[in-house]
Amino acid sequence: MTTFDVNAILSSTAYDADGDKVGKVEQVFLDDNSGEPTFLTVNTGLFGAKESFVPVKDVRQDGDRVVLPYQKDVIKDAPKVDADQHLSPQEEEELYRYYELNYDNGRDADRDRDLNDRDRNAAAGTAGTAGVAGAAAGRDGDRDLTDRDRDLNDRDRGLVDQDRRDVADRDLTDRDDASVVRHEEQLNVGTQERETGRARLRKYVVTDHETVDVPVEREEVSVERTPIRDGQARPGAGTIGEEEVEVSLHEERPVVEKEAVAVEEVGLNKETVRDTQKVEADVRKEQVDVETDADRNLTDRDRDLDGRDGNAPRR
Phi, psi of 162 (to 5 degrees): -65, -40
Express each pLDDT in 73-99 by its tens digit. 999 899 888 888 888 889 999 999 999
**Would residue 68 count as lying in a domain?**
yes
Which of 28, 60, 91 is a domain's end point?
A: 91
Query: What value does the mean pLDDT take over residues 61-66?
Result: 83
Express each pLDDT in 180-221 by its tens digit. 888 898 888 888 888 888 898 999 999 999 999 999 999 999
Stronger pLDDT, 90 or 170, i.e. the higher one: 90
Stronger pLDDT, 128 or 164, i.e. the higher one: 164
Judge if 19 and 64 occupy the same domain.
yes
Confidence at residue 65, expressed as pLDDT on a 0 to 100 scale: 87
Quick one: what percent of the chain has pLDDT higher than 90?
A: 19
Which of 147, 174, 201 is a domain's end point?
A: 174
**What string of H, E and C letters represents the secondary structure of the chain?**
CCCCCHHHHHCCEEECCCCCEEEEEEEEEECCCCCCEEEEEEEECHHHCEEEEEECCCCEEECCEEECCCCHHHHHCCCCCCCCCCCCHHHHHHHHHHCCCCHHHHHHHHHHHHHHHHHHHHHHHHCCCCHHHHHHHHHHHHHHHHHHHHHHHHHHHHHHHHHHHHHHHHHHHHHHCCCCCCCECCCCCCCCCCCCCCCCCCCCCCCCCCCCCCCCCECCCCCCCCCCCCCCCCCCCCCCCCCCCCCCCCECCCCCCCCCCCCCCCCCCCCCCCCCCCCCCCCCECCCCCCCHHHHHHHHHHHHHHHHHHHCCCC
**Would residue 264 count as lying in a domain?**
no
Confidence at residue 172, expressed as pLDDT on a 0 to 100 scale: 46
Judge if 70 and 109 occupy the same domain.
no
pLDDT(127) > 60: no
Q: How many domains does the chain have?
A: 2
Confidence at residue 252, expressed as pLDDT on a 0 to 100 scale: 93
- Which residues form the domain of 127? 105-174
Judge if 139 and 73 occupy the same domain.
no
Of 215-229, 275-289, 290-304, minimum mean pLDDT range: 290-304
**Would residue 252 count as lying in a domain?**
no
Residue 128 pLDDT level (bands cut at 50, 70, 90)? very low
**Would residue 85 count as lying in a domain?**
yes
38 in Cβ contact with 29 (< 8 Å): yes
Judge if 130 and 70 occupy the same domain.
no
Looking up residue 74, the CATH number of its domain turns out to be 2.30.30.240
Confidence at residue 173, expressed as pLDDT on a 0 to 100 scale: 47
Residue 134 pLDDT level (bands cut at 50, 70, 90)? very low
**Would residue 265 count as lying in a domain?**
no
**Would residue 221 count as lying in a domain?**
no
Confidence at residue 4, expressed as pLDDT on a 0 to 100 scale: 66
